[in-house]
């Protein structure tokens, strides 16, 4: 029977098509792959400033981090990083590619940072406000929350002992323990055999251990591997001082 005039019959709602995702979505490219460092260096040697700017973008954070550990001052580290790349640009023709570009850049950075440190050493002291302490706590507090209150004081002690090493030992520790270079890589930067790096690390650990003993400072538990990996991926240029401190007593 047809509905009477004026009556209201609700219309049925349209059925929504159920979305069933495919088993595998196609990979979406997020842009071209990064240009290899060697290709950027070759272009920069021909005078392409944009290629060199990309090299600066890639390597400046690590160069600054290295300079910060060796100068113990954020402003000096900024100056060293800027000076390193200015010198690299001016001397690019002298880079023959016999070693990796980062090795060449690191060598310039170590030499320049040690010069700055020697000039300003008389006015330097390490305290909990040291920028290296602040960065170290930021890197490790998440992985070591139960020890967060200890980190600042212990890191100041570690850096006090680190700053009293000879320039050769200090740069060796900075490159290996704090920057993560292998002994062969550190040897290439410093122009010495791998065995020399191993000997310097043995000497540095002994001196650091002796200095830290005066504070009755033992090793902190190192961050778990997963936490270290996650932190490295988040900011690969921030050194873990907890790992450095643990290495003093276990290496």
Number of Cα atoms under 13 Å in the Cβ half of residue 30? 1
- Report residue 194's pLDDT band, with 50, 70 and 90 as the boundaries: very high
Given a cut of 80, whether residue 170 has pLDDT beyond it is yes
How far is Cα of residue 243 from the mean position of the Cα atoms in its chain? 13
pLDDT digits (tens, 9 = 90+) for 13-58: 555 444 344 444 444 455 667 889 999 999 999 999 999 999 999 9
Residue 130 C-alpha from the chain's centroid: 17
> Taking the chain, what is the end-to-end CA distance rounded to the nearest angstrom?
93
Which residue shows structure tokens 């709602």?
A: 13
What does the pLDDT read at residue 23? 47
What is the mean predicted confidence (pLDDT) over 221-242? 50
Least confident of 8-12, 17-21, 59-63: 17-21
* pLDDT over 90 at 103, yes or no: yes
Residue the block writes with tokens 């190192």? 222
> Hey, where are the domains in the chain?
36-124, 126-251
User: Class for domain 36-124, per CATH?
Assistant: mainly alpha
Domain 126-251, CATH class in plain words: mainly alpha
- 83 pLDDT band, cuts 50/70/90, is very high
Q: For 109-118, 122-131, 222-231, which range has the lowest pLDDT when averaged over its residues?
A: 222-231
Token look-up 């961050």 returns: 223
pLDDT at 68: 92
Q: Is the pLDDT of residue 12 over 70?
A: no
Encode pLDDT of 62-82 as tens digits.
999 999 999 988 999 999 999
- C-alpha span between 210 and 204 (Å, rounded): 10
Mean pLDDT value across the chain: 78
State the pLDDT at residue 234.
40
Residue 179 and residue 239 in contact, taking contact as beta carbons nearer than 8 Å: yes
């Amino acid at each position: 029977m047809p509905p009477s005039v004026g009556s209201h019959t609700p219309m049925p709602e349209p059925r929504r098509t159920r979305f069933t995702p495919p088993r595998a979505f196609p990979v979406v490219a997020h842009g071209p792959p990064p240009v290899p460092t060697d290709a950027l260096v070759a272009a920069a040697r021909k005078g392409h400033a944009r290629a060199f700017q990309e090299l600066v973008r890639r390597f400046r954070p690590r160069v600054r981090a290295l300079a910060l550990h060796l100068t113990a001052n954020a402003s000096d580290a900024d100056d060293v990083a800027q000076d390193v790349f200015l010198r690299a640009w001016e001397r690019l023709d002298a880079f023959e590619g016999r070693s990796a570009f980062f090795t060449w850049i690191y060598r310039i950075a170590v030499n320049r940072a040690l010069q700055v440190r020697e000039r300003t050493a008389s006015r330097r002291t390490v305290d909990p406000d040291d920028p290296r302490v602040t960065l170290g706590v930021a890197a490790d507090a998440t992985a070591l929350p139960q020890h967060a209150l200890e980190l600042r004081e212990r890191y100041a002690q570690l850096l006090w002992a680190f700053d009293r090493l000879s320039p050769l030992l200090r740069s060796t520790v900075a490159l290996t323990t704090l920057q993560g270079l292998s002994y062969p890589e550190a040897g290439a930067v410093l122009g010495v055999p791998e065995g020399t790096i191993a000997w310097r690390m043995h000497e540095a650990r002994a001196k650091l251990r002796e200095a830290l003993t005066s504070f009755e400072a033992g090793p902190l538990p190192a961050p778990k591997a997963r936490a270290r990996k996650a932190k490295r991926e988040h900011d690969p240029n921030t050194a873990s001082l907890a790992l450095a401190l643990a290495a003093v007593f276990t290496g």
